[in-house]
Structure 1
Amino acid sequence: MRVHFIAIGGSAMHNLAIALHNKGFDVSGSDDVLFEPSRTRLEKYGILPQQNGWYPEKITTDIDAVILGMHARTDNPELLKAQELGLKIYSYPEYIYEQSKDKLRIVIGGSHGKTTITSMILHVLQQAGKDFDYLVGAQLAGFETMVKLTDAPVIVIEGDEYLASPIDRRPKFHLYKANIGVISGIAWDHINVFPTFDSYVEQFRLFIKTIQAGGTLIYSKTDTVLNEAVEADDTTSVTKIPYQLPQYQIDNGVTSIVSDGKQYPLEIFGEHNLLNAEAARLVCKQLGISTGDFYQALTKFKGAARRLELLGKNESTNIYKDFAHSPSKLQATIQAVKNQFLDRKLVACIELHTFSSLNKDFLSQYAGTLDAATEAIVFIDSKTFEQKKMEPYDASVVKKAFDKDDLLFFNDPGELKKYLERIEINGKNLLLMSSGNFGGIDLAALANNILKNI
């Protein structure tokens, strides 16, 4: 099979390219810009484009499939050439389905927790010696790539609700046709695509209907909006299994799940992660893994990359970075750190970086989300407004939206770095949250500098 990737440098795209290369496919690709780690990883496997840019002459009739990334535009010259030649054009979720239509497909959906639930399942299956394929949205310890495609009978897919490609406006998780579907919760996101709350919720209602006959839906009983969607669904051919918090306890900063008279100490913490664990447990139960074996394997799970990742600590301070960016994720992450360290104050800093979080019409969704923090900081890199071609706004707009007059606002990464390095951090934790990169600040070096100053 000869496959060509348009916008090969994307996170999922370059991993899919590597997976197909490993499967023996003849893989080529193009992109106008390639960042790390995509560049190095594509080069390692011998499939890095020789030059950046779009080259319609690469598109020839001997190509079996063109895979189109979200980064490409509808007027992309390679796409136009492929359409002119009548080649088969797939989005990457469509092609994942094409490669897995004969497998048992497990699809993890929801506004939050998708990567962590998927990562937990992969970790436990690996510990159990199971044969499986996967697609996950973060690099995981012990896994070479974020996509694996072999002859395994099972595939575990992190399925998000964003659009499949520039020419396919369907949410990705609709295209996988799950046999086992998970929904972790529903909290409005992607306002640029789903301008109303109901249009966003509708995507999850539709996802339930894509679950194959005789399949299973596993969903969080703790989410009111999700429960309403499930209860209103009239699909009778799908078994619906709710989950809620397991029994747990926190001792000396360590969270343990309590099950069948045994304690299982975890390296992760927070009620949101305990809910994630229950979703993963129920999936693994469907695959023949007992509750005891699941929890025992989970004790060795260190978490997904950038999810409550510990940057540094001493006796009185922990510094974390987290991928949280939406209101629900922000609130859950802050509460998790507060509950884990009841005797410490918390400095919480959120970078607003996504189209939704920067949108003035959506910003009010953040009202009250920073209230549990002792000190609240919001950062928006001034360059982000320029890059996204959005009109900038000042601290007063942010403070009003978050409904917090004592909130601190920064729009320059250098000034934010200086401020954080001067904080009296003794007896406090610092939580840095973003789906971006804080304007290029080296967070590991920052944490080291802060701890040195105590």
Structure 2
Amino acid sequence: MPQSASNARPHAIHAANPRHYHLIGIGGTAMASLAGLLRAAGHRVTGSDEAVYPPMSTQLADLGIHYAEGYAPANLDVNPDIVVVGNAISRGNEELEAVLDRRMHYTAAAVVIKEELLRGRHVLAVAGTHGKTTTTSLLAWILESAGLNPSFLIGGIAENFGSSFRLTDSDYFVIEADEYDTAYFDKGPKMWHYLPVTAIVNNIEFDHADIYRDEEAYRFAFARFINLVPRNGTLVAGWDSPIMRELGPKAFAPIESFAYGDDSVAEGGHPRWTARDVSFGEQGTRFTVLHGDEVWGDVQTPLTGAFNVRNCLAVIAAAESIGADRDGVREGLRTFASVKRRMEVRGEVRGVTVMDDFAHHPTAVRETIDAVRQRYPGRPVVAVFEPRSYTAQRREFQDAYRDAFAGAERVVLAGLFHPERYTAETAMNPLELVDAWRAAGKPADFIPDPDEIVARLVPELRGGEVVLVMSNGGFGGIHGKLLDALGQGSGG
């Protein structure tokens, strides 16, 4: 049964027992957001990091949170009550070593989030291999539009809010539930700590080969997450995902399944959320939402791509499970402003559109290219890809990447990130990939350096192309360099 929003219990924003938290690695997206949440809850917050860049350095400065540049035992002389160790911090870090030598109270960010922010609230946790950040941001915004004033913690800057976090007195807390490990001393996924009541699991497909030894271990992480949802909660399950269709029915919670595909994937007799009459365009997407045979309503959203239709269906199902106002939900879908680095248009010069996307898994690459083609029908897609994540650089994913770029007219492959971490047996071979694309008749090049990519690519562009840059890192500021070079070539 839907859980009425009128049952929301107020929560005090300020902690009854303020403490001093010191965050080692405070400049990461999740850690800086946690710092802001703890500050909003009335705690004192300090921290340390090195080479902190915007937007997190700006966010910390705006919050007035002091942090030390660099790691050092002296940073601990502020005598915090609790030290939070970021999951990028490992043994050998001199500040962490001092924490251990001094027998200080230390813990992980996910544990603090659970105890300080989530316990006792209705947590809406968004998990899955792909689409977590966009779906979490979208869910927070539609609940805001429906008048539920949710708290949230997102792994990116939600443009509607201009922030990656917010703390309110609402009963509802929306959180991105990451399957990456918790800390050097807790190798379980962060999402196991998040006390889900409503859980969205969009899809499950092997990723993070640096953390999980194989697909079985990866599946187990999600199986256990699903097992955390209480009987009076809701599992919102992506039924287009074969692994999700296998794991979902084992939940103790009621299931609301959703799918973009046809009815052939419907298994188990669960209520299903689907879309019909889907229309893509440069301004976004329109479609009609069905719950079983019942029409839920018509949706208009600036989002593009089949995967974003799935994201919309997921958040609609989650919102329905808590009785959110439908008109407010529809308005939230219509006014959603996306997330930075998710199909973000960085600029257009001489008729060439430069887009930035975080895609790095082969499936995400393929679906992002498909979405760009749906958004800009008839325009050539030039895909520029930096294999930066651990998954992206592993040889076992090479064939999947070969197929993932089928929708692009031109492919430029950049160099591996820290290639010294791999051997010839474990690393992607860029030259083999390029040869395979060329053999299939697709123009492709391996150009390791971002500046060389700009120098080689810009003279080729005639206008009308969409240059889709995909990387989960900074990629040498290539987006701005492309736009600058295009502008210099315009004669203006």
Residue aligned with 2:391, SS? helix
Does residue 328 (structure 1) correspond to residue 393 (structure 2)? The answer is: no
Q: How does 1:160-309 map to 2 (within 5 A)?
A: 160-231=178-249, 233=250, 235=251, 237-245=252-260, 246-250=275-279, 253-254=282-283, 255-259=285-289, 260=295, 263-309=298-344
Amino acid of the residue matched to residue 386 of structure 2?
E
Provide TM-score, normalisation by structure 1. 0.90
Between the aligned partners of 2:335 and 2:162, the Cα distance in structure 1 is 18
Amino acid of the residue matched to residue 413 of structure 2?
V
Amino acid of the residue matched to residue 204 of structure 1?
F
1:338 paired residue among 370, 373, 381: 373
Does residue 103 (structure 1) correspond to residue 121 (structure 2)? The answer is: yes
Amino acid of the residue matched to residue 413 of structure 1?
P
The residue aligned with 2:455 is 418
Residue aligned with 1:330, SS? helix
Amino acid of the residue matched to residue 52 of structure 2?
L
Amino acid of the residue matched to residue 244 of structure 1?
A
Residue aligned with 2:126, SS? strand
Residue aligned with 1:136, SS? strand
CA-CA distance at 1:112 after TM superposition = 0.4
The residue aligned with 2:86 is 69
Q: Deviations along 1:284-327, whole A, 9 cap, x unmatched?
A: 11232244432232111121111111123489654321111111
Q: What is the RMSD of the two structures over their aligned residues, measured on CA atoms?
A: 2.7
Between the aligned partners of 2:115 and 2:60, the Cα distance in structure 1 is 23
CA-CA distance at 1:55 after TM superposition = 1.7
Amino acid of the residue matched to residue 354 of structure 1?
S
CA-CA distance at 1:361 after TM superposition = 3.6
The residue aligned with 1:446 is 482
The residue aligned with 1:133 is 151
Q: Are residues 48 and 404 of structure 1, via their aligned partners in 2, closer, same or farther at CA, if it must alter by over 3 Å?
A: farther
Contact 2:349 2:483 in 1 (8 A): no
Residue aligned with 1:347, SS? strand
CA-CA distance at 1:109 after TM superposition = 0.3
CA-CA distance at 1:452 after TM superposition = 7.3
Contact 1:312 1:448 in 2 (8 A): no
Between the aligned partners of 1:295 and 1:444, the Cα distance in structure 2 is 35
Residue aligned with 1:303, SS? coil
Contact 2:393 2:428 in 1 (8 A): no
Q: Are residues 298 and 315 of structure 1, via their aligned partners in 2, closer, same or farther at CA, if it must alter by over 3 Å?
A: farther
Amino acid of the residue matched to residue 126 of structure 1?
E
The residue aligned with 1:429 is 466
Contact 2:48 2:75 in 1 (8 A): no
Between the aligned partners of 2:87 and 2:439, the Cα distance in structure 1 is 36
Residue aligned with 1:432, SS? strand
Does residue 78 (structure 1) correspond to residue 113 (structure 2)? The answer is: no
Between the aligned partners of 2:56 and 2:296, the Cα distance in structure 1 is 46
Contact 2:233 2:254 in 1 (8 A): yes
Q: Are residues 10 and 404 of structure 1, via their aligned partners in 2, closer, same or farther at CA, if it must alter by over 3 Å?
A: farther
CA-CA distance at 1:401 after TM superposition = 7.7
Residue aligned with 1:377, SS? strand
Structure 1: gaps of 5 or more residues: none
Amino acid of the residue matched to residue 267 of structure 1?
P
Between the aligned partners of 1:55 and 1:390, the Cα distance in structure 2 is 36
Amino acid of the residue matched to residue 27 of structure 2?
G
CA-CA distance at 1:394 after TM superposition = 5.8
Does residue 385 (structure 1) correspond to residue 427 (structure 2)? The answer is: no
Between the aligned partners of 1:252 and 1:45, the Cα distance in structure 2 is 39
The residue aligned with 2:6 is none
Between the aligned partners of 2:376 and 2:67, the Cα distance in structure 1 is 48
Contact 1:250 1:340 in 2 (8 A): no
Between the aligned partners of 2:154 and 2:115, the Cα distance in structure 1 is 17
Between the aligned partners of 1:261 and 1:41, the Cα distance in structure 2 is 39
Percent of aligned pairs with the same amino acid:
25
Contact 2:352 2:461 in 1 (8 A): no
The residue aligned with 2:272 is none
1:58 paired residue among 60, 64, 76: 76
Between the aligned partners of 2:165 and 2:297, the Cα distance in structure 1 is 35
Does residue 14 (structure 1) correspond to residue 43 (structure 2)? The answer is: no
Between the aligned partners of 1:140 and 1:93, the Cα distance in structure 2 is 20
Does residue 43 (structure 1) correspond to residue 61 (structure 2)? The answer is: yes
Between the aligned partners of 1:401 and 1:358, the Cα distance in structure 2 is 17
Between the aligned partners of 1:78 and 1:369, the Cα distance in structure 2 is 43
Amino acid of the residue matched to residue 333 of structure 1?
T
Q: Number of paired residues?
A: 447
Between the aligned partners of 2:454 and 2:434, the Cα distance in structure 1 is 20
CA-CA distance at 1:111 after TM superposition = 0.3
Judge which range, 131-140 or 35-44, deviates more: 35-44
The residue aligned with 1:157 is 175
Q: Are residues 198 and 300 of structure 1, via their aligned partners in 2, closer, same or farther at CA, if it must alter by over 3 Å?
A: same
The residue aligned with 1:89 is 106
Contact 1:321 1:431 in 2 (8 A): yes
Between the aligned partners of 1:149 and 1:64, the Cα distance in structure 2 is 22
Q: Are residues 84 and 53 of structure 1, via their aligned partners in 2, closer, same or farther at CA, if it must alter by over 3 Å?
A: closer
Between the aligned partners of 2:324 and 2:439, the Cα distance in structure 1 is 47
Residue aligned with 2:156, SS? coil
Between the aligned partners of 1:251 and 1:286, the Cα distance in structure 2 is 28
Structure 2: gaps of 5 or more residues: 1-18, 261-274, 290-294
Q: Deviations along 1:197-217, whole A, 9 cap, x unmatched?
A: 222122111111122342211
Residue aligned with 1:105, SS? strand
Amino acid of the residue matched to residue 435 of structure 1?
N
Contact 1:347 1:376 in 2 (8 A): yes
Judge which range, 250-259 or 159-168, deviates more: 250-259
Q: Deviations along 1:380-411, whole A, 9 cap, x unmatched?
A: 26x6435x577787642433687966431110
Does residue 113 (structure 1) correspond to residue 131 (structure 2)? The answer is: yes
